[in-house]
Structure 1
Amino acid sequence: MNPPISGSVALTHWGVIRARGDDAAAFLHTQLTNDFSAVGPTQARLAAYCSAKGRMLASFVAWEAAPGDILLACHASVLPATLKRLSMFVLRAKCKLSDASAELPLAGLAGDAARHACDGVAVWQRRDVAGGQLIRLPDAAGVPRALLAPPALPPDTGLSLDAWRWLELQSGIPVIESATVEHFVPQMLNFELVGGVSFQKGCYPGQEIVARAQYRGTVKRRMFLFDVDAPAAAADEIFASSDPGQPAGLVANAAPRPDGRGFSVLAEVKLAALEGGSLHLRTPDGPSLARRDLPYPVPVDAGQAA
């Protein structure tokens, strides 16, 4: 049984890119996997930035702070390279990109702290609060969560960063870190299942490959949640006992379990590796992975879900 998780914590593993200007939304619409054409003052977006080959370079929680002012929260380890790459494509658009991490440090709220702050706010909605903006995130392990972007962080109260990171995993929403850049097409990380991809919008880098994977049924790898009685980290390889000669998957994110018994991981694995045998971390005879439930069904083949 995990101990209760509640309180606030500084999210030092996250950073913020600001897109400001009359063309900010239009520019992001042409670059990211989600629809930014009608982003409004009460909405938030989950989105990915992909290479031309459809591989994820970064993932974002995005929202409009003010008209013509859109904030993109991402893992701090990918922010510099992502900002540099996105800036190359602004060209004549009226949009200026900058690193706003120092100006807008992020805090996470969980448990009762999030429940009280989010009263009346639906998931993926935002509202102004004293000194900043609050974004309601999906619950994780039955725990309410919210993202707070204030000019000054609230004092940490009862919530550790490890506990917050564990909740990120339990939500089933992956975060691209520097160790996993260009390893995954969005569907490999269930990104379309959690609202991170729009298939009704126009072109963006990698769009053709992402759409082909969706409509031709070529997704043969999916992300699942596992527990393991050993330390784990992003980009750790996973091996299947049924085919130990080559890796069967890759860890996307990992965090210590609140009960102190090893780690939880979100990991992408070959669907064929789930059909029999066991999965192991780092080596064919490494620590065993125990599959846990995600908060949403995952298609494993046509018409079925796991």
Structure 2
Amino acid sequence: MDWKNTFSPLSVNADDALPELMLAHLASWGAIQIVGTDAKSYLQGQVTCNVVSLEAEQMTFGAHCDAKGKVWSVFRIFHHNGGYAMFQPLSAIDVELRELKKYAIFSKAEITHSGDIALGLMGVQAQAWIDSHSETRGDVRSIEGGSAVKIDSQRWLLLINSERTAELVNTIEAVKVDESLWTRFEIEQAYPVVTQAEQNEHIPQALNLQALNGISFNKGCYTGQETVARAKYRGINKRAMYIVKGNIESPLSDDEVVQLERSVGENWRSAGQLMVHYTFANNTAIGLVVLPNNLDEETEFRLSSQPDTRWIIEALPYSLNDDE
């Protein structure tokens, strides 16, 4: 049996208990790999995070921008297979790879779309499983076939080769779920997910990267730095990413853009598109969306394609205030 066919949807509500150990094939995620003697210095001049100070056992968020500060890619970067891996939505990789490689011809850095496979290990027993399969105790660990990266208290990313993937999937004693549950946790943690549909639309602060330690303001020059610095020191950013929640009348498409509208008096106006979304068993759903950061907390929303639905903004799990 093909290991890719062993994963099934897990229909749950927000408060339902989950299996203690779950494994998902993150088929809509991938990684860019950078190796070579100039890999560190090249990335340092391209991305918002500080690659020079990134230790072997650390992972950090980062973004790669165009010259105007608009984001091509939001990624998690970590040491992997003798270089670096930039883990991100698969649909963003083609454009991001093209943009990231533009000036690499002048550097001893090889930038490629990694052939490694992404698996998500989830649940209260995820940490114990990782501990039993690795000799080190950092947030990034070398394991058989690749790397294990801690995402949060109950999630680990496994970026491993195809041979090890088949072996692991066929032998692990875990509930094999589809990747939608991983998406749910990304939303609940308010971690930005920039797919192809959102590329070159937002500056990093509109995606809350400053609250997730994904921007270094003292690392030196990188592409788009002027815009990112002005957004911090002159307060020019007027948008932020929020968790929204509401009901649905019919299933939300994973292949089409899902638009939100917001209530303005007795009228409705376009508010933005869901970056990602997840639906619970009781036909409520959650998603991430970039909105003006001065909206009233009581602002009501609805799905453009389902006008009888009602959505609201949920509290973020972190602060957007630079002073907190």
Q: Normalising by the residue count of structure 1, what TM-score does the alignment of the two structures yield?
A: 0.87
Structure 2 match to 1:145: 155
Deviation at 1:118, TM superposition (A): 4.6
Is 1:14–1:76's contact at 8 Å kept on the other side of the alignment? yes
Which runs of 5 or more residues in structure 1 are unaligned?
Answer: none
Structure 2 match to 1:213: 231
Deviation at 1:185, TM superposition (A): 1.1
Is 2:239–2:292's contact at 8 Å kept on the other side of the alignment? yes
Deviation at 1:284, TM superposition (A): 9.8
SS in 2 for 1:217: coil
Amino acid at match of 1:184: H
SS in 2 for 1:106: strand
User: Is 1:114 equivalent to 2:112 in the alignment?
Assistant: no
Distance 2:259 2:216 in 1: 30
Amino acid at match of 1:167: F
Q: Counterparts of 1:205-284 in structure 2 under 5 Å? A: 205-230=223-248, 231-232=251-252, 235-242=257-264, 244=267, 246-257=269-280, 259-282=281-304
Is 2:244–2:286's contact at 8 Å kept on the other side of the alignment? yes
Question: What is the aligned-residue RMSD (CA, Å)?
Answer: 2.4
Which runs of 5 or more residues in structure 2 are unaligned?
Answer: 1-14
Equivalent pairs counted in the alignment come to 292
Is 1:9–1:155's contact at 8 Å kept on the other side of the alignment? no
| Residue 121 to residue 195, structure 1, CA distance change in 2 (3 Å) | farther
Distance 2:74 2:257 in 1: 16
Larger radius of gyration: 2
Structure 2 match to 1:85: 99
Pick one of 161, 180, 192 that aligns with 2:198: 180
Is 1:52–1:206's contact at 8 Å kept on the other side of the alignment? yes
| Residue 10 to residue 62, structure 1, CA distance change in 2 (3 Å) | same
What does the per-residue CA deviation read over 1:59-117, in whole Å, with 9 as the maximum and x for residues that have no partner? 111111244x11111111011121122111112111011111x3x10110111342213
Is 1:126–1:133's contact at 8 Å kept on the other side of the alignment? yes
Deviation at 1:4, TM superposition (A): 0.9
Distance 1:291 1:61 in 2: 26
SS in 1 for 2:169: coil
**Identity of counterpart residues, as a percentage?**
24
Structure 2 match to 1:29: 44
SS in 2 for 1:88: coil
User: Is 1:292 equivalent to 2:314 in the alignment?
Assistant: yes
Distance 2:137 2:319 in 1: 25
Distance 1:209 1:41 in 2: 30
Amino acid at match of 2:142: D
User: Is 1:170 equivalent to 2:188 in the alignment?
Assistant: yes
Q: Which moved more, 1:196-205 or 1:16-25?
A: 196-205
